[in-house]
Structure 1
Amino acid sequence: MRSGDFAPPPKSFWQDVGGRATFERLVRAFYAGVANDPPLLALYPEQDLEPAIQRLTGFLEQYWGGPTTYSEQRGHPRLRMRHMPFAVTFDARDRWLTHMRAAVDTLQLPPLQEQLLWDYLERAAHAMVNA
């Protein structure tokens, strides 16, 4: 590298997997499953799932190196605190994971990226259990 040449900044996971479009596909596929799962759907107080779709998309984007819009609009994620008003049981966790697994599969990511994403989602789901 010559003096004055700069290496491009490393790409984030968010960029590597396709940015917002990929995370929006993931979250919309997930919520399509939630919409057809009455016990899990009961945990969502809003009739319209669109606000939840936007929140989860924004959170995941930020977590994986995308825009920080989530924190700019909502403050620190504080996931456990935000989920405390809801009884997140082992059954709810398992239902959440079932729909999220199906959604991840729709992305057809390369194996390493899929495993990184899934490992995080699985750990996060287990951490949200509070009842």
Structure 2
Amino acid sequence: MTTSDRSTQLAERAALFARLGGHETFELLARRFYEGVATDEVLAPMYEGDVEGGERRLRMFLEQYWGGPTTYSEERGHPRLRMRHAPFRVTPDARDRWLTHMRAALDDAGLDPESEQAMWDYFVRAADAMINTLEPRP
């Protein structure tokens, strides 16, 4: 990739981040999502009392993924989502609960329909990819 191509790509990603509402949108998404997670009997135990840390990590990851600052990778390295979720029992039920809370957060974000659909499609694919067991909790 040439320097010019890289500059164009960075500019396009920055424009996407701005179109989505920038930091404020991702802060709202993470906060609203974790408001739901904090009271979810399946998901809340996975955070072992660190919902605030989870909220920050999710916000940073989403900002980076959608063209914003690369703070997530600078602080935590490559996202490696599947590896980071491997210690947890991510069942289809956990996936569905995750998507329920993310859907509520996304609905509150007030994005334009095209952006909202693009984000929702990503969330569904990512949630599906995190499933690592079909066995319910013991």
Q: Give the structure-2-normalised TM-score.
A: 0.85
Cα distance, 1:17 vs structure 2: 1.3
Over the residues paired in the alignment, what is the CA RMSD in angstroms?
1.3
Structure number with greater Rg is: 1
Q: Give the structure-1-normalised TM-score.
A: 0.89
What does 1:1-131 correspond to in 2, within 5 Å? 9-10=11-12, 11-45=14-48, 47-131=49-133
Cα distance, 1:12 vs structure 2: 2.9
Measure the CA separation in 2 of the matches of 1:60 and 1:12: 15
Measure the CA separation in 2 of the matches of 1:130 and 1:48: 22
Query: Which 4+ stretches in 1 moved above 6 angstroms?
Result: none
Cα distance, 1:38 vs structure 2: 1.4
User: Which has the larger helix fraction?
Assistant: 2
Matched residue of 2:60: which SS? helix
Q: Does the CA contact (< 8 Å) of 1:13 and 1:64 recur in 2?
A: yes
Cα distance, 1:48 vs structure 2: 3.3
Uncovered stretches (5+) of structure 1, i.e. residues with no partner: 1-8
Measure the CA separation in 2 of the matches of 1:70 and 1:95: 24
Q: Does the CA contact (< 8 Å) of 1:17 and 1:109 recur in 2?
A: yes
Measure the CA separation in 2 of the matches of 1:128 and 1:48: 20
Amino acid paired to 2:47: Y
Q: Does the CA contact (< 8 Å) of 1:88 and 1:130 recur in 2?
A: yes
Amino acid paired to 1:121: F
Measure the CA separation in 2 of the matches of 1:48 and 1:79: 18
Measure the CA separation in 1 of the matches of 2:57 and 2:128: 19
Amino acid paired to 2:27: E
Uncovered stretches (5+) of structure 2, i.e. residues with no partner: 1-10, 134-138
Measure the CA separation in 2 of the matches of 1:12 and 1:81: 30
Give identity over the alignment, percent: 61
